[in-house]
Chain A
Amino acid sequence: MAEAVLHVFRGDASGGKLEEYKVPLEEGMVVLDAIHHIQGHQAPDLAVRWNCKAAKCGSCSAEVNGKPKLMCKTRMDALPAGQPIVVQPMKTFPIVKDLVTDVKWNYEVNKKIPPFTPRQNAEWRWKQEDIDRVQEFRKCIECFLCQDVCHVLRSHGRTDAFSGPRFLVRVASLEMHPMDSLNRTKFLKDSAGIGLCNITKCCTEVCPEDITITDNAIIPLKERVVDDHYDPLRKLFRLVTGSKES
């Protein structure tokens, strides 16, 4: 039976290294199958997160041959044959153990987003085309691969100032909901740090749900922020009238 060779990161915050494992190849096998095989036969304490194994829960995020991927969705036969497959934890988040990282920061960011606030006394009717865009954003499975790849977080470590693409997508899903009544541009500008995104679209490229993060979510939000906070005419209007819109 054909074999695959994997180099899997083993270690924790104090350090670690790539360990080599060999697993028998099966037709249609994905990287997570190989990791489970290692766990079940060679390294019972190999730490990995997973749940659905169907690309619906976003738990098994890792870096396969250096690329942010869901392991359950990465076919072994799509990787270069005859070369070891390198599996490492997401780089942007602090390591816990082996392939498991500490992603709690994401949950803290989520708490700060002004929640869905429906209009009062309005009828809950809308057309399908009015929500197609919102439904695109709501496909997000919170795998955090977009957070992992985003250079603002990955290279510059700006978790203090930038919410990351995942939560800009969440804000977009609220802002574009036909019943929502809040304006979140001040939050986007001051707390979510939307200005730090310089539209390199890396997040869109890695999204396993094919959400057009940059074009459909982030850029329209940037436009709203500009309209509300940097438009000179509106600024003048605010100065003259003393209004405090958003």
Chain B
Amino acid sequence: MTERFESHDVDVLVIGAGGAGLRAAIEASAQGARVGVVCKSLLGKAHTVMAEGGVAAALAHVDPSDSWKVHFKDTMLGGKMLNNWRMAQLHAQEAPDRVRELEHWGAVFDRTQDGRILQRNFGGHSSPRLAHVGDRTGLEMIRTLQDHGVHQGLEVFMECTVTRLLTEGGRVVGAFAYWRETGRFVTFRAKAVVLATGGIGKAYKITSNSWEYTGDGHALALGAGAELIDMEFFQFHPTGMVWPPGVMGLLVTEAVRGEGGLLRNSKGERFMERYDPKRMELSTRDMVARAIYTEVKEGRGSPHGGAFLDISHKPAEVVKKKLPSMYHQFMEFANIDITKGPMEVGPTGHYVMGGVRVDADSGAATVPGLFAAGESSGGMHGANRLGGNSLSDLLVFGRRAGAGAAAYAAKAPAHAPLDAAQVASAEREMLEPFERASGPDPYSIHRKLQDSMQALVGIFRTEEDLAKGIAAVTALRKEARSMRVEGSRAFNPGWHLAHDLKNMLQISESLARCALQRKESRGAHARLDYPNPDPQFGKVNSVVTLDGDEIRVSQSPLPQMPDELRSLFEPEPAGVKS
């Protein structure tokens, strides 16, 4: 039955070609595995390309006292101690090597006076720690990985969307996909699959994320029987553009604040004094996002409903050199010269801290044969991610997941015929929307989802809003079952959305249900009805599983860190500077 479709056999199938996917693919290939990379867009267009400010690594080039221990501590404190300690440790320890490795593969980072990789300040990092290339660090990273991977001979399946993972006896053994260009179906047989599909930002109306961010990896993992953790922790980046309407949500890099940018309200007050007087503009993202939101809500916002972010006190040449794309972005989209006056900024949906539950060392998910890395995995960032820790995360854990998958594949049984029933069901699911004579179109359901998530599962949450949000999303999930798609299967964005939307709805509901059961405020999850952290909730991860079509949320104990790491958080004797 599967012979009806084009089919490919690989040892390791990597889904997603952003930083995590490419780094995983490069590693698996270096370990001798035959690797296929599947991505929804053209190679090099993944979301990593939009990352701006830098990659966090304790290279200690600018502050010689920096070390992995300080980076680890900053990361755990930023994540409100909900991070998987082992991931945070590996991340802090290995990030410097991963950055140097990129340089050896051709990346060209900005330099210090003495010719080494320059590092800049970022929120929540106690030293200048972010290696960067102006404000286009993500582009540098993805191009470096892309070219390195291409010359290593990676097989890349561009503009191909995986709709379902195929299993055999509880193991992941392949995937069902379609070519976006033709709409033809294709199957993959793989001994291991790495999910590196990014996040779920497109579920929100105001977001910095592209169309690709539809929770695909999360939905694929749930469908294969794996667990997600901590999905309630969704980061609103404090500074997105708020005007003009077409670019609302577009990212304004934290590097603006890292380079000395100041936040003010309509009264000209540096309002961060009221929220985090010690760290001010370089507070963590959860704090700054809530501060801006509060200022606007209390009537001290900018004309278009944001805060003013000003870097114009710095010399114009410095701004243009260190923040070139911000300069162009505001000049071209908003007619604002940021070397002369302030920008208007407000919170924008940016990143999901939660994701597929993985083993810290190997990236293995809770289902054999399945691995995950980068934004699609959970645990590393706890309740709130520090800026710059995502680009380092995807290098460290992309490599580890690639190695984990290659090692698993080397011992896995040979490819067997795919289960015809699973393939037929995946095919049916994709064809149904064309066969309906009537039904809602995917674009209108998507707009309704974005409105509901924005209004009811946003920066500040209450039991009442979350319950309404869950009701709205479950109703939309039902409505989506009768969606109708017009046109042919050839490059049909309506059809593509119809599938991605199902993932978005399922993962949005997971997010809202996790948010409802966590009756406390911690990091990015702020409950007006439970405004404080609760020590009991600080000991548990939220866990999402799928039961038939129903989303189930439970809790599991947070892994406990060993004493030698715990001692890093004990108060130091008076007079000793940390």
Stretch from A22-30, A155-163, A192-200, A229-237 at the B interface = A22-30
The CA of A141 and the CA of B247, in the complex, are separated in Å by 19
A-B contact list, 18 entries, CB within 8 Å: A28-B334, A44-B486, A45-B487, A49-B42, A51-B41, A51-B210, A52-B49, A55-B329, A55-B332, A57-B44, A107-B158, A124-B104, A124-B116, A125-B115, A127-B115, A131-B111, A138-B133, A141-B49
Rank and list the top 7 A-B pairs by shortest CB-CB distance, nearest first.
A28-B244, A45-B487, A44-B494, A125-B115, A116-B106, A47-B491, A115-B151
B103 an interface residue at 8 Å Cβ cutoff? yes
Q: Are B49 and A57 in contact (CB under 8 A)?
A: yes
Instruction: State how many residues of chain B have any CB contact under 8 Å with chain A.
Output: 62
Q: Which residues from chain A sit less than 8 Å from chain B, CB to CB?
A: 12, 26-30, 33, 39-41, 44-59, 73, 75, 96-98, 100, 102-104, 107, 110-111, 115-116, 118, 124-128, 131, 134-135, 138-142, 174, 177
Residue of A52, A73, A177 ringed by the most chain B CB atoms within 10 A: A52
Residue of A46, A104, A142 ringed by the most chain B CB atoms within 10 A: A142
For window 237-251 of B, CB contacts with A under 8 Å fall at 243-247, 250-251
For window 482-526 of B, CB contacts with A under 8 Å fall at 485-488, 490-495
| Minimum distance in angstroms from A212 CB to a CB of chain B | 14
Q: Are B139 and A141 in contact (CB under 8 A)?
A: yes
Residues on A with beta carbons closer than 8 Å to the beta carbon of B148 = 115-116
The CA of A116 and the CA of B144, in the complex, are separated in Å by 10
Q: Are A53 and B250 in contact (CB under 8 A)?
A: yes
Pick from A12, A52, A75, A131: contact of B108, CB under 8 Å = A131
B120 an interface residue at 8 Å Cβ cutoff? no
Residues on B with beta carbons closer than 8 Å to the beta carbon of A111 = 150-151
The CA of A59 and the CA of B148, in the complex, are separated in Å by 21
The CA of A107 and the CA of B41, in the complex, are separated in Å by 13
B50 an interface residue at 8 Å Cβ cutoff? yes
| Minimum distance in angstroms from B480 CB to a CB of chain A | 15
Q: Are B485 and A51 in contact (CB under 8 A)?
A: no
Interface secondary structure of A, over-half rule: loop
The CA of A96 and the CA of B159, in the complex, are separated in Å by 12
Q: Are A51 and B212 in contact (CB under 8 A)?
A: yes
| Minimum distance in angstroms from A89 CB to a CB of chain B | 11
Q: Are A54 and B110 in contact (CB under 8 A)?
A: no
Residue of B46, B111, B491 ringed by the most chain A CB atoms within 10 A: B491
| Minimum distance in angstroms from B314 CB to a CB of chain A | 17
- On whether A125 and B114 interact (CB within 8 A), knowing A44-B487, A111-B150, the answer reads yes
| Minimum distance in angstroms from B284 CB to a CB of chain A | 24
**Interface mask (B231-267 → A, CB under 8 Å = 1, otherwise 0):** 0000000000001111100110000000000000000
Give 8 A-B pairs besides A29-B245, A57-B49, A58-B45 with Cβ atoms closer than 8 angstroms: A55-B325, A59-B42, A75-B332, A111-B151, A126-B111, A135-B110, A138-B140, A139-B139
Q: Are A59 and B45 in contact (CB under 8 A)?
A: yes
